[in-house]
Every structure is written in structure tokens, then in C-alpha cells.
Amino acid sequence: MVAEAVGGVITGSLALLADAGHMLSDSFSLVLALFAVTIAAGAATARRTFGYKRAEILAALVNGILLVLVSVWVIYTAIGRLDDPVEIMGGGMLVIAVLGLMINIAAFLVLWKGGGESLNVRAALRHVLGDLLGSVGVIIAAGVILLTGWDPIDPIVSILISILIAASAWSILREAVDVLLESVPAGIDSEEVGRAMAAVKGVKQVHDLHIWQITSGFPSLSAHLLVGADDDCHAVRLKVDAMLRETYEIEHTTLQVEHVPDTSPITLEVP
């Protein structure tokens, strides 16, 4: 980051300065992500019964916002450079960009191995991926400048990189907001789950069904089940619970079970 910042000033490259600014936000983001993972591992308390698991989601949200802000700043600055091109030292720009690419590839591989289902780590990974793409873009821009002397390629590449970064940030922001708004997790159809629950032998009615995520990879479900008057409500609950765990990988469930007369029809109500 320091090398790119100094090199950007010396060579006059906005692409290097933009990548340095992005790496600065990444440095903060990676520290934030690590802090969130540490906090999320803490035990639950009487006040926070789920512990601090959503600290990772909050960190992902902040990281996504940072990516957008950096992208907007780079695009704004690049547009100014298009109207007033600056002479750039392509050789120094190329050397520093290659160094940055090597470091970003190493960081990307480390986070790729540990990404898993954590939205927080995936957000950090997107930051590093943005840096990696930035380094590639700077290398291309430096090559064009060295071969043709066309300096406007530098702000143009900066804008393209920023658009890619902003698009990546949007998916992170959308996922984080979905978790915070307790939306149904991606890949799960609440109506399908409700029908599968209603199909379990003994279940007469399913209503007040809710499916959400506590944090990445931690889906939860609550529902009210009505079973036949002669059915064993505890046995039915265990069957439904086992079906949800085996079919939909939903392990954290809260099922309220009550009896109804045998004449009650089998129905499903999904909000």
C-alpha cells in the first residue's frame, strides 16, 4: 500500500493511487473482519442469547459501504483526469503494479481457503479480489503507456476497476441487509419447506412459519404445528425436526405443537 501510494505520487498514476486507497480501506476491513470473527466466537450471555454472531454481518455491511465509497472517489477523480491528463512514468508504474499483484495473489489464496460460508470473510475476500483486479488493470495501463504513450488509459482503467469493485460490493451489501432484515436464506423456499412440513404424517396444519439466518450458515426456523387428536405430538415434532435437518440443513428449530380434532383439514399458512 505504501509502495503504491509513494509510487503513484512519483509516477503520476491515478490507478496506483486508487489501488493504494483501496488497499488502505482493505487493511482496515481485514482488521475489522478479524475482530468480528473473534467477537462472534464469544459465548452467549443472558442479555445476548445468540452471543455476538451477527458481528460478522455488521462487519460485512461496513466493508461493503467502504468499497462503494472508495469506488465513488476513484471514479470522481478519474473523470477529472480525463479532462486534464497527467504525464505518467509507465516503467515505475509497471514495477510497482507487478509487486502489488504478487502480494494480492498470496492474500487471495489465504482467504479463499478460509472463506467457507462466512459472509464476513467473503466480504474481506472481495476486497482483496478488487485489489488483485486493480493490480492487473494497472499493469495493463502501464503497458499501454509504455508502448503508445497514451496517458488517458490510466484514469479509464481506474474507472473500470471501480465499477467492478462497486458491483462486488453490491452483492455483499444485499446479503448483509437480507440477514439483518431476517429474510429467508438464499436457496431456501419457505413455501416448499411449509409443504414438506405439512406432508409429515400426523401434521394437520402449519402456520406462523418463519425462516431466517442468525448469521452466515446459521439458518433458523420457527412454526406452529397442529396435529391430530390421537397423534403423539412429541413424536410428530421429532419427525418434522429430523426432516428439516436432513432435507434443508436447518438445525435450529422452534416448533410449537398442539392437538386439533381429527376433522380439521390439512392446511398450510405461510406469511
pLDDT of 194 higher than 80? yes
Contacts with 232 (C-beta within 8 Å, 6 or more apart), sequence order? 202
Percent of the chain residues topping a pLDDT of 90:
26
Count CB neighbours of 263 within 10 A. 8
pLDDT digits (tens, 9 = 90+) for 115-149: 566 666 777 787 788 778 878 888 988 899 889 88
Residues 210, 92 share a domain: no
Q: What is the predicted pLDDT for the residue at 152?
A: 86
| Domain annotation covers residue 103 | yes
pLDDT digits (tens, 9 = 90+) for 78-116: 888 887 777 788 888 888 889 888 988 888 888 887 656
Across 171-190, average pLDDT:
89
Specify the range with the lowest mean pLDDT, choosing from 15-19, 25-29, 185-189: 25-29
- pTM for this model (two decimals): 0.70
Residues 225, 156 share a domain: no
Residues 204, 120 share a domain: no
Judge contact between 145 and 151, C-beta under 8 A.
yes
Judge contact between 138 and 130, C-beta under 8 A.
no
Residues 175, 48 share a domain: yes
> Which is more confident, 34 or 146?
146
Last residue of a domain, one of 154, 180, 206: 180
Judge contact between 110 and 46, C-beta under 8 A.
no
Last residue of a domain, one of 133, 148, 180: 180
Domain count, the chain: 2
Residues 52, 133 share a domain: yes
| Domain annotation covers residue 105 | yes
| Domain annotation covers residue 185 | no
Residues 197, 174 share a domain: no
| Domain annotation covers residue 42 | yes
Residues 108, 58 share a domain: yes
Task: Check which CATH number belongs to the domain holding 173 and give it.
Answer: 1.20.1510.10
Residues 80, 53 share a domain: yes
Residues 6, 126 share a domain: yes
Task: Check which CATH number belongs to the domain holding 196 and give it.
Answer: 3.30.70.1350
Strands 203-213 vs 267-268: parallel, antiparallel or unpaired: parallel
Range of the domain at 77: 2-180
Q: What is the predicted pLDDT for the residue at 50?
A: 81
